[in-house]
Structure 1
Amino acid sequence: MQYTVVERELELRMVLSSERSVPVPARLTYRTDDPYAVHIAFHIGSEQPVYWTFARELLVEGVFRPCGHGDVRVWPSTRDGRGVVLMALSSPDGDALLEAPAEQVSAWLERTLRAVAPGAEGEQLGIDDGLAELLA
C-alpha cells in the first residue's frame, strides 16, 4: 500500500527558565498510514533522537487554544512579538517545555490536512473495508 509522508525540519527552543532557552533541532513527521498521529524527533545531542508521538488533532487545536492534559499539553503564545506554539511534554524520564515557531508549525499542519482531511483519517486505515470483509 502506498502512503504519503509530510516532513518538516525546524528549530525548536527548549525553555529552561523565563530568561533562558536552548535550540533543539527537530523533525516533524506525518504519515498517511498513521493518520491520527504526528511524530516529532528531537535531536538533543544524544546518540539517538528522542521521539514523541501524539494526536495530530492536539497540535491542530493547540495552535489556536490551550488543549491537552497529562503527558502532552499544547497552547499558543507569543515571544518577542512572534507567534509560538508551546508544547509541555511529561514522561517518567522528565519534563520538557518546547517552543516552536507558530508559522512553520501551521504551514506543516496545513500540508498534513491536505494529505488527509480532518474526519477522513478512518478511511486511510481501511477499517470499513476490513469490517465489511469480516462480516461478509
Structure 2
Amino acid sequence: MNTNLINLAVRFLLEIAMLITLGFWGWHVNTGWLQYAAAAGLPIIAATLWGVFRIPNDPKPAPVAVPGIVRLLLEWLLFGAAVLALFTMGYFALSLIMGITLKLHYIVSYDRTWAMLQNKPYNGFKTNS
C-alpha cells in the first residue's frame, strides 16, 4: 500500500509541510539575523537528515544506510517537531490536522512501517528500472 500514488502524494505533501513549518517556526521564535538563519537553516538541516540517513533501497541506495527503526524514529522526530511547532505557534487546528494525517499515513503504509520495525528490507521500494 505504501506505493499507492495517492499515499505517495500525501507523504510528499507532509514532507513539504514539515519543511515549511520548521522554517516558519524558526522565523517565529527568533529575532534579527537569527530569524533568517533559523528560517533557512532548520529546513536545510531537516532535509539533509531526511535525505542522507535512509534504509537501503528507500527508493534508491542510501548515502548513509541506517536500520529501519532508526529511520522511523528520525521520521517521527522531524514530523513530530513540525506538529509541535504548529501547536506552539498557536495553530492548534493545523497541528491536529497534520498529526491525524501523519497517523493515517503510517497506518496506510503499514507494510513499510512493519518492515522497518523488523529491520527487514522493504521490497516495495524497488523499481523496475
Bin for the TM-score computed over the shorter chain: 0.3 to 0.5
TM-score under structure 1 normalisation? 0.33
User: Counting helix residues as a fraction of each chain, which structure ranks higher?
Assistant: 2
User: Counting strand residues as a fraction of each chain, which structure ranks higher?
Assistant: 1
Task: Specify the structure having the higher radius of gyration (Cα).
Answer: 1
| Higher RCO (C-alpha 8 Å, min separation 6) | 2
TM-score under structure 2 normalisation? 0.34
